[in-house]
Structures are given as structure tokens and as C-alpha cells.
Chains A and B, each alone.
Chain A
Amino acid sequence: MPFDVILRQLTVGFGKTLLIFGLTLAFSLPLGLVVCLGRMSKWAPFRALAGDGSKPCSGLVRALATFRPIQLIFKFFISILRGTPLMLQLLVVCYGPYYLFHAKLSATWTFTALIIGFVINYAAYFAEIYRGGIESMPVGQYEAAEVLGYTKVQTFFKIILPQVIKRVLPSVTNEVITLVKDTSLAFVLAYAEMFTLAKQIAAAKTTFAPLFVAGVFYFVFNAVVAYVMEFFEKKMSYYR
């Protein structure tokens, strides 16, 4: 098989790789913030049970008073999403509806399932990165804002979040680079992105060349990603 044919086919596949990559980032970066806020939720519906701390209370009452359902739910989902293979998650999202509800899977479902799978998995990772950034913020920043009369929402969006973005950028870069390579997992759903195509061609023509070319594609793409992220980091370095 001539080299330029391989290259042309893989370029088409690369377009789809880019699509997965772009859509996943576009949804998971903001969704991660929502998951992060859920994970950090301190809402405790039975807090009043413990009283104001003036009277001692039993262990059960104390456990109930510190019960934070929202935080617990998000913690659980994050642990599942981080604790099982992404490949398995993609399969579950794609075929789960059929096995559970005998839902008819439409022709476009594979792609939708693929994006949903990637988005929720990456949102879980981004959430934990954001949480690390938020929790590393010195308490003095909150206190200064509070004394100046900023509302909680103002404090978060004006004072905390901009600084958190700077702090988490290196870790986010790491995740983004991993995502470039993880798009290749789309082959388990037989979605024709670059890696799936490369494997098919390699198997059909018994040649390693397409896989090698795919590797070069990933490498070059990641070099571009790293360059872009470095640009953002430089943009944020106007303060320390």
C-alpha cells in the first residue's frame, strides 16, 4: 500500500480524533468545575441535630449531623470514574442502555456515547485537579475578600478562580496530553478515528507502517498541545 494512501486515510481519521479531543475538552473542562463544587459541597441537612456544640451528643447523632449527601455522591462517582478503566467505561456507556433497557441504539449513538464517556471521565479528573487548586489557596485571600464585603460568588469568581486557574494549569496540561493519546481508546467502539483506521489498515495489509505513522501524528499533535499550553502558562505569569 503506497505511503501517500496511508497518509490520506489517516489524515481523515485524524480529523475525527481532533473532533473527540475538542468536544471532550469543551465539555469536560467546565463540567469538571461543577463536579468539583459538588465534591466540595458542605451541605449537611441534619447539621442542626448536633446543636450549637454546647451539649455533648452521641456518636450516631454526630455522624448524622456531619452527613454530607452531595459531597458523598460526587465522591462515589469520582472514585468509580478514576478507579475503573476508561475503556470499560466507554463500553458501559455505549452498550449499557441496550443491556439495561433494551434501548434501540441509533447509528449516531456510538459517537455520542464515546463523547459522553470521555467527558464524564475527564470531568472527574479535572474536578480533582480544580479541588487541589482551590484547597491550596491561602485562607487569607478569602478573609481579605470577606472583610472588604465581597459576596461569596464574587469572592469565588473574582479572587479565587483566576488564581486557581494559574495554579492548576500544569496539571491540566498533563491531562490534556493524556487525552490526546486516550482518544485512541475509541477503537473499542469501532469508531473510525485515526488509531482505529491505522489498526485496520495494519491488519489488512500486514504492515506496521500505518501504526508508526499514527504514532508520529500523536507525537506532533502533543507537541502542538504542549506549545499552546506553555503559551497559556506564560500568559498567566504576569503575577506571582
Chain B
Amino acid sequence: MKLLEMNHIQKSFGELDVLKNISLSVEESEVVAIIGPSGSGKSTLLRCATFLETIDSGSIAYDGRVAAQNDETERAKYVSAGELKRFRSCFGLVFQNFNLFPHYTVLKNVTDAPISVQKRSRVEAEAEARALLAKMGLSDKADCYPYQLSGGQQQRVSIVRALAMNPQILFFDEPTSALDPELTQEVLKVIRGLAEEHMTMVIVTHEMAFANAVADRVIFMDGGVVVEEGPPSEVFGNPQCERTKRFLEQYQN
């Protein structure tokens, strides 16, 4: 069964059509990389998948359960707010600029949602959080506040925060764009580790080498449409569309 299925998504901000009839489906334990120039709609697609933006028309389903689909007037209709809340436990989202809660320690950042949203016991949530932090090499940072960490460490904490909710699918919205090359590698290593554990992931990224190495499938987006899609060896090695070639050439120097 497809873990995520988005079909014929249309989204516009006022006059600007950002997503023009886009479909995206993700299989279990698949790693999908979405690449493309700025303003191509990559982030908007992720934000629609995570309900941070509402789609104008199309359908979204997680694990076969429909979260939004078109009504008879061809406009997307979402399930009730209460049901939508249950869908949120299917996925996690890692933001470009981390969005950690600055007034909470690392441990509280990671455990607060499991405790106060998923109503898990503090003991259990903290044990799991500490195990995840240790895995990411952050054991000694549990009692630090976010401002005391480097950007790379903050991003790793935010990955742990997302993982602590036990999502079936993890979205990354340009997870390394706010980091310097050294810290970027540090975060990419973590994501690569997750891929090796067969975590289902959708990653919007500008790191072509990384996308090539880690993704099962690459999607190249431009102007709100999917221009080219396929295994990395084909999209990177033998791009079919002129637009894809031109885009990838910029990364060759």
C-alpha cells in the first residue's frame, strides 16, 4: 500500500498558481528527493502534505485513508479538524530553520509532544528520547537549550523531535539550507543513517550529490509541475528534459 498519495494537487496564492496538478505518491521505506529551482513549488508541496497549507483541489491520503478529496464542485474538502489531528501522527516535518522551542531544553523539546499530545508516560517518552539523542550523538546535550547548540546540532535535535512521535513518514524541507558545508554533512549523515534503517522520507533539497546517493526516486519540479521523475541514476545521469539538463548544469561547477 502507498503510504502517501497526493493526486492532482492544485494550489494558488491569489493569482499565483504554485502547484499545477501535481501528484506525488510514496511507498513504504522509499526515499524521495524533490529538487528544483526556488519558487518551483517544492516547499509548498511539502506544506500541503503536512496540512500547513490547504490545497485548492486534489486529494491527499495517508496509508489509504483519505484526508482531503474533491467534492462535486472540484474543490478539495478536508475531513473534520478532529480527524485531521489523527492524520498528523502519521508524519513528521523537519524545517529549514529548525523551529525548535527556545524556552525548552533539548530533552523537553523532544518529549513534550509525546507526553502532552500522544499522552505517553513521561518515563517512557524520556527513555525513548534519550535513546534517540544518543543515536544522533547528542546524549550530552539533553539539558542544553537550543541557543547553546550549533546549527547542525539544532537540526539533529529537530529530527529527533520529529522521530519521537514515531511517524510513518518524515518530511524534510531543505534541512541543510541554513547550514554551512561542514554542518550540512553532519546532518546529511544522520538522514543517510535513517535511510539505511528504511525510514520513509520525502526530502526537498539542493544537495544534488546527497539526493543522488540516498534517494530511491528523484523528482525535478519547476513552475509548479513535475518536469522529470525517476531513479537518481536516470534523472542525474541521463536527464531527458531540456529544463532538467539546464538546472543540473548549474551544479556541475
Contacts and interface: CB of A to CB of B under 8 A. Distances in A.
28 contacts: A138-B99, A140-B99, A141-B101, A143-B52, A143-B95, A144-B101, A147-B50, A147-B91, A147-B92, A147-B93, A148-B88, A148-B165, A149-B85, A149-B88, A149-B113, A149-B117, A149-B118, A150-B117, A154-B116, A163-B102, A163-B103, A166-B103, A239-B102, A239-B103, A239-B146, A239-B147, A240-B102, A240-B145
Interface of B: 50-52, 75, 85, 88-89, 91-93, 95, 97, 99-103, 112-113, 116-118, 145-147, 161, 165
Given A141-B101, A143-B99, A163-B103, A158 B147 contact: no
A147 B167 CA distance: 11
Interface residues of A, number: 22
Interface string A25-67: 0000000000000000000000000001010000000000000
Interface string A71-83: 0000000000000
A240 B146 CA distance: 8
Contacts of B113: 148-150
B75 A144 contact: no
Main secondary structure of the interface of A (DSSP, over half): helix
B13 to A, nearest CB: 11
A239 B52 contact: no
Given A148-B113, A149-B165, A159 B50 contact: no
Contact of A52 (B75, B101, B146): B75
B20 to A, nearest CB: 16
Given A162-B103, A163-B103, A239-B103, A144 B117 contact: no
B92, B95, B102: residue with the most chain A Cβ atoms closer than 10 Å: B102
Contacts of B146: 239
Nearest to A147: B93
B99 A238 contact: no
B12 to A, nearest CB: 9
A230 interface: no
Contact of A239 (B93, B112, B117, B145): B145
